Each structure stands twice: as C-alpha cells, then as structure tokens.
Structure 1
Amino acid sequence: MTQRITLFGIPNCDTVKKARTWLQEQGLAFEFHDFKKQGLSRAAIESWLEHQNLDVLINRKGTTWRALSDAEKTSASDTEQAIALMMDKPSVIKRPVMLIDNGDQQQVNVGFSVPQYQSIFKK
C-alpha cells in the first residue's frame, strides 16, 4: 500500500521549514503545496475539518489573526464563515497541515513537533 504525503503551508514559515527538513531527513517522499501561490480549495478545507477540529485548524496566535477585525474573529467560530475566512486569508491556518493519503484512508495532522511526527511515522 502506497502512502502519499502532502504538506500544505507557506515556504517561509519556520514551522513549515522544520517539518519539510524532518520529512527529508527521514527519507519520506512528500509533495509541498504552497497555499498562498497554489491556492486552497473549499473541498480541501472541508476534508481537513472531517479529521481536525476548527479550533485546531485556525491559528489564533499568528499575526494574521491579530490583524482581523473583531467581527471576523467572532465569525470564525461558525464553520461556514471560518472556511470562507481560511480561503480568503490562508495565513490564518495553523501550519503546516499534513495530509497522509493511504488510498482508502486519510490522516490530517496540524502543526509540527519532532515527537508528533515521530509518533505519526513510527515503524
């Protein structure tokens, strides 16, 4: 069974850089999707939300979040409005988002830490 790994993020994000480096050091093949340049579909965000809670997916600590109006911040608790916000301002998404597709099963992980990735890819 082949697994396909896609890492979503932006290339200049430090956490994304660490995740990419870790995956490369482990010899794991992955595709990088720059969602600022390549965009992000509503279907992709909806599929992530099938695996992760909205509160996990939205980065409430970043500069993009802090720059939002109070009305935008409040609207982010509604799933439909939060999806629209993430499509309009992808930097509000906690990075990286890693999709592991095993054909019949998908796994979505948000953020990066060495222990987190070690447990995901334990052999």
Structure 2
Amino acid sequence: MALKVIQYPKCGTCRKALKYLQEKGVAFETRHIVEEPLSRDELVSLVEKSGLPVQKFFNTSGQKYRELGLSKKLKDMSDDEKLNLLASDGMLVKRPIVTDGKRVTVGFREEEFEKLWVGK
C-alpha cells in the first residue's frame, strides 16, 4: 500500500507534514478528512495499528472539541462511544494520520516521520 496521509488542507500541522514528506522525496496520496471522513471500522483499524489509545485520536485543540466540551466528557465515555464520535465528524480527528497499511502515526513529529516514513 502506498503511504496514505489523512489530512485537512487548512491544517497547519498537515501542511508541515506534507511539505516534509515532499522534501524527503516520499511518495504519498492524500485523503481530505472532512470530504471523505473515516468510517468507524477504519478508525478501529488505525487505532489498533497505531498502538495508541483512542483518546490520542482526538483533535484536542479543535473548535468542535471545545464546543462539545469533550475535555470533561471523554474520560467517562467508553472506547466504543469515542470511536462513534470520531466517525461522526472528521474535524474531531487529530491529523495528519499517516499509514502504510501496517503502521500508523497521528500528528506530526519530525523524528517519528524520519524513522517510520523516510528511513524505511
């Protein structure tokens, strides 16, 4: 599978990540998370492959997250409820999510990208 970057074009972190991958000559395809939201099944798969808790997939600095008061609500929700919520609105999902079908990163950390996506 080609490297897939699930992103939102107006997101500064996504733009940084895409620029980084381009500069390193890494081939990838993009998916606009709002126009083509992740399904619940896709989220389950991404969470499993990432090894991260579902909580780490929330865009905690997003307007929607704050509007819904999720900082207080998430701790009392089951993973099932969290996944349903994430699948309901692409703007709730932390981005970019990068995957090669086996591994997954959430957000952009240069060292992590270098290790997983550039140096492979």
For the aligned pair, the TM-score class normalised by the smaller chain equals 0.7 to 0.9
Query: In the alignment, which residue of structure 2 is the partner of 1:23?
Result: 21
Alignment gaps of 5+ in structure 1: none
Deviation, structure 1 residue 46:
0.6
Quick one: which of 35, 38, 57 aligns to 2:36?
A: 38
Deviation, structure 1 residue 21:
0.8
1:117 pairs with 2:116: no
Q: Closer, same or farther in 2 for the Cα pair 1:25/1:60, shift >3 Å?
A: same
Query: In the alignment, which residue of structure 2 is the partner of 1:14?
Result: 12
Quick one: which of 102, 108, 113 aligns to 2:104?
A: 108
Q: Distance in 1 between matches of 2:63 and 2:91?
A: 9
SS in 1 for 2:115: helix
- Aligned AA (1:46): V
Task: Please give the root-mean-square deviation of Cα atoms over the aligned residues, in Å.
Answer: 2.1
SS in 1 for 2:119: coil
TM-score normalised by L of structure 1: 0.83
- Per-residue CA deviations over 1:18-53 (Å, capped at 9, x if unaligned) read 111111111111110101012221221010110221
Higher helix share: 2
Q: Closer, same or farther in 2 for the Cα pair 1:76/1:58, shift >3 Å?
A: farther
Alignment gaps of 5+ in structure 2: none
Determine if contact 2:54/2:83 at 8 Å carries over to the other structure.
no
TM-score normalised by L of structure 2: 0.85
Aligned length: 117
SS in 2 for 1:7: strand
Name the % identity. 26
Determine if contact 2:55/2:82 at 8 Å carries over to the other structure.
no
Q: Distance in 1 between matches of 2:8 and 2:90?
A: 9
- Aligned AA (1:115): E
